[in-house]
């Protein structure tokens, strides 16, 4: 499966409606900083789970993995799940 990725630059947490389609974009670096209190996250290549869309980030010796599958998002940092829920829940927590 070929991944369609946005630029790793600021994926802002917003929802847009256009022609009945909801498009969600995220600022993953800020989201990771908020839920971990660790800054400086940089996107890097990681293995493909084969399910949904995968994003990998590093900050120092910490590694974060974000998987989004059918609007459900799981965020793990250093192998521990730190957030699991709908993408909409993550947006609400962002505000």
Whole-angstrom Cα distance, residue 54 to residue 66? 6
Residue pair 28/71 in contact by the 8 Å Cβ criterion: no
Inside any domain, residue 3: no
**Number of domains making up the chain:** 1
Q: Which two tokens stand for residue 91?
A: 């947006």
Q: Provide the domain limits for residue 57.
A: 14-94
Whole-angstrom Cα distance, residue 78 to residue 12? 24
Q: With 0.75 as the threshold, say if the pTM is over it.
A: no
Determine the pLDDT at residue 18: 59
Inside any domain, residue 47: yes
What are 5-64's pLDDT values in tens digits?
444 444 444 455 556 776 767 889 998 998 999 999 999 999 999 999 999 999 999 999
Inside any domain, residue 6: no
């Amino acid at each position: 499966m070929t991944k369609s990725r946005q630029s790793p630059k600021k994926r802002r947490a917003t929802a847009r409606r256009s022609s009945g389609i909801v498009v969600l974009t995220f600022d993953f670096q800020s989201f990771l900083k908020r839920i971990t209190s660790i800054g400086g996250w940089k996107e890097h290549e990681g293995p493909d789970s084969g399910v949904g869309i995968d994003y990998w980030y590093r900050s120092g010796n910490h590694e974060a993995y974000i998987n989004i599958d059918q609007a459900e998002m799981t965020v793990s940092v250093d192998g521990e799940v730190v957030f699991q829920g709908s993408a909409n829940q993550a947006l609400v927590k962002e505000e």
